[in-house]
Amino acid sequence: MRDLRSPERSRVRDVLQWATSELRRCLKDAPLGSADTPYLDALLLLSLATGEPTERLLASLPEEVSEDALGRFVRLLDRRCRGTPVSYIRGIKEFYGREFSVNPAVLVPRPDSELLVETALEALDSLAMVTDTLHLHDAFTGSGCIAITIAAERPGIVVSGSDIDDSALLVAAANRTRLLAPVADPPADRVPLWRSNVLDAAAHECRIRRLPTPQIVAANPPYLSDTEYEGLRRSSWPEPERALRGGSDGLDLFRKLAHQAVTLLPPLGYLVSEVGSQQGVIGARILAEAGFRDVEVRQDLAGRDRVLIARRSTQRRHGNDD
């Protein structure tokens, strides 16, 4: 692609119009859904370059952008044109009303995942009517957006998180410190984090940390098929492979999650997991075969399969509980 040059006019209105046009041109072949908001992208990057809130920029469209700020903006826009998500450039992404730090070690939180939070909160509230001590574990925690949001929304419960990637856990820990104000316990005690491949370490970590057995496991596992991921890789997609790639049909790690969760959870405990938009039916079948009941597929605002919620049976698939 050709290098960007500064726009001919430097009024806020003209700069935004020029940048929107440039983004449409340079991102016209970007993967579906990754470049749908060129004007918003331009506005957020101009806000970063000028230090002015977006609301102030929109209220000052006829005003001039300084030469220094314009130079910074062109450099930021060039990064966006080369495929870097705005959230990575800014280092933050809003999720459920909070700003989470993000970098290329973690997925950028998606609005669709807010349905996972809402479904998990609903499950927590139903359990709160019958038990005083609640523990939710968030597998594949990444930036920590799921675990930290739930801990902030329900400060009286224990929330923990795990991820296989040490760099992701550092991001989650930083978000935990910044976004969870101390209540009765410091953030590290309210949301302990540990390294684990799916739920491999969950029982051991709960035991050594003296945490109650989780009654809810929440997860946003990698669920892109190998073919889908290869398409992204060819387009130089910047998000981490291990957070996206889920095997031949995208459900390899979901299958492992289902079989481990049915062992970890107590009878009638909940598993709440995000899935791909075409995976609701087969995902529900996997849960039922693993030993879950009351399996429900929930759709996002666009009417696409997005979240599965299920309860562990009172009996394991191959026999009664010990």
Provide the CATH topology of domain 111-312: Rossmann fold (3.40.50)
pLDDT digits (tens, 9 = 90+) for 133-158: 899 999 999 999 999 999 999 998 99
Of 20-29, 41-50, 131-140, the poorest mean pLDDT is in: 20-29
Q: Under a CB-based contact definition with an 8 Å cutoff, are residues 291 and 317 in contact?
A: yes
> What integer pLDDT is reported at residue 317 of this predicted model?
53
CATH code linked to domain 12-90: 1.10.8.10
> What integer pLDDT is reported at residue 262 of this predicted model?
97
> What integer pLDDT is reported at residue 107 of this predicted model?
96
pLDDT digits (tens, 9 = 90+) for 81-97: 988 999 999 999 999 99
Judged against a pLDDT cut of 70, whether residue 2 lies above it is answered with no
pLDDT digits (tens, 9 = 90+) for 155-203: 989 999 999 999 999 999 999 999 997 765 677 788 999 999 999 999 9
Mean pLDDT across 53-82: 95
> What integer pLDDT is reported at residue 4 of this predicted model?
72
> What integer pLDDT is reported at residue 3 of this predicted model?
60
> What integer pLDDT is reported at residue 184 of this predicted model?
58
Instruction: Report which of residues 184 and 33 the model is more confident about.
Output: 33
> What integer pLDDT is reported at residue 228 of this predicted model?
93
pLDDT digits (tens, 9 = 90+) for 102-113: 999 999 999 999
Where are the domain boundaries for CATH 3.40.50.150 in the chain? 111-312
Per 3-state DSSP, the chain is made up of helix, strand and coil in percentages (nearest 5) of 45, 15, 40
> What integer pLDDT is reported at residue 320 of this predicted model?
39
Where are the domain boundaries for CATH 1.10.8.10 in the chain? 12-90
| Cα atoms found within 13 Å of the Cα of residue 113, Cβ hemisphere only | 25
> What integer pLDDT is reported at residue 6 of this predicted model?
75
Q: How far apart are CA 314 and CA 268, in angstroms?
A: 6
What 8-state DSSP symbol labels residue 111?
A: G
Mean pLDDT across 297-311: 95
Mean pLDDT, the chain, whole residue set: 92
Judged against a pLDDT cut of 70, whether residue 321 lies above it is answered with no
Cα 224 → chain centroid: 14
What 8-state DSSP symbol labels residue 30?
A: S
Q: Under a CB-based contact definition with an 8 Å cutoff, are residues 269 and 216 in contact?
A: yes
Mean pLDDT across 209-238: 94
Judged against a pLDDT cut of 50, whether residue 1 lies above it is answered with no
Q: How far apart are CA 19 and CA 179, in angstroms?
A: 33
Judged against a pLDDT cut of 60, whether residue 66 lies above it is answered with yes
pLDDT digits (tens, 9 = 90+) for 251-276: 999 999 999 999 999 999 999 999 99
Cα 128 → chain centroid: 25
Phi-psi region of 33 (alpha: psi -120 to 50; beta: other; left: phi over 0): left
> What integer pLDDT is reported at residue 83 of this predicted model?
86
Q: What percent of the chain has pLDDT over 90?
A: 82
In the structure encoding, which two tokens stand for residue 278, read together?
Answer: 């075409």
Instruction: Tell me the pTM.
Output: 0.90
